[in-house]
Amino acid sequence: MHILGIDTATRIASVGIVCDGEIVAERAHLSTANHTETLLPLILHLLEDSHCTLQEVQGLGVSIGPGSFTGLRVALGTAKGFAYALGQQVVGVSTLEALARTVNDWEGAICTVLDARKAEVYVAFFRRDCHGQIHRQSADQVVAPHEFFSTLEEPCLFLGDGVERYEALLHEQCGPLAKLLPFSQYHPRGGTVALLAWERLSQGGSSVIGTLTPTYVRKPEAEFRRMSGASLPCPDLRTSP
């Protein structure tokens, strides 16, 4: 079963093909704007690399956030277009979970951090066990960096573009407990999104295309204005023992 994975949640667009649980091809493109013009050519080159046609793709995995509002809409619109035209199943995948799944050679706490702008970050905690399995420890949330970094109590691997933005703050508040990975090498990957979708589809699961929407996490701007500047409570994101 061939699964196409799409991720445009950050400034790096990435697509990948999985066949029977193995990533067979992957491509990525760094964009300074949105991914509208580059995503389809990226997918066509990927299909050539994997010697696979779009008609042979039996399912789609799409990163649904949190992340760039525009990027999420580009990926989801493309996935839905393919699905409706070709009758393919679609699986929506958490961007932060897909990012955590790119980690190898680490056992313990993992924190995926994406820059949410407005002095906030999208974060989620995971734990990678001795067998390489990833277990979610918190929901995807949006928080102020200085509030959440101070909750760290054990060594933790940090990755995502939020690590670049708040590297100095991480070192200041977490010290040697924080292990940082470069975003240029550890970013959301289309192959990982496809692999997560393949796992779901292999177990008979999929998303309802018509109701599949981006996971923005942050409330719409209009709702913030209605709240008259009320701040969101910062959740307890401590990793479990």
Domain of 203, CATH number, reads 3.30.420.40
Query: Per the domain annotation, does 49 fall within a domain?
Result: yes
The total number of structural domains in the chain stands at 1
The type of residue at 57 is V
CA dist list (Å): 159 to 41, 97, 178, 237: 28, 11, 10, 16
Amino acid letter, 93: V
178 occurs within a structural domain: no
**Domain for residue 197, yes or no?**
yes
Q: CB 86: neighbour CB atoms within 10 A?
A: 13
Would 50 be classed as within a structural domain?
yes
**Tens-digit pLDDT string for the chain (241 aa):** 899 999 999 999 999 999 999 999 999 999 877 899 999 999 999 999 999 999 999 999 999 999 999 999 999 999 999 999 999 999 999 999 999 999 999 999 999 999 999 999 999 999 999 999 999 999 999 999 887 777 678 999 999 999 999 999 999 988 899 999 999 999 999 999 999 999 999 998 888 898 999 999 976 554 444 444 444 444 444 444 3
Q: Is residue 234 part of a domain?
A: no
Q: Is residue 46 part of a domain?
A: yes
160: left (phi over 0), alpha (psi -120 to 50) or beta: left
Tokens linked to 52: 């696979």
Domain with 33, as residue range(s), is 2-97+187-217
- Encode the chain in three state secondary structure: CEEEEEECCCCEEEEEEEECCEEEEEEEEECCCCCCCCHHHHHHHHHHHCCCCHHHEEEEEEEEECCCHHHHHHHHHHHHHHHHHHCCEEEEEEHHHHHHCCCCCCCEEEEEEEECCCCCEEEEEEEECCCCCEEECCCCEEECHHHHHHHCCCCEEEECHHHHHCHHHHHHHHHHHEEECCCCCCCCCHHHHHHHHHHHHHCCCCECHHHCCCCCCCCCHHHHHHCCCCCCCCCCCCCCC
Query: Alpha carbon of 9 to those of 34, 53, 90, 105, 190: distances in Å?
Result: 10, 25, 17, 25, 11
C-alpha span between 123 and 136 (Å, rounded): 12
Residue 54 is assigned to a structural domain of this protein: yes
| 25 within domain boundaries | yes
User: Residue 223 to residues 39, 73, 135, 227, 230: CA-CA distances in angstroms?
Assistant: 31, 20, 33, 6, 10
At residue 220, the pLDDT reads 52
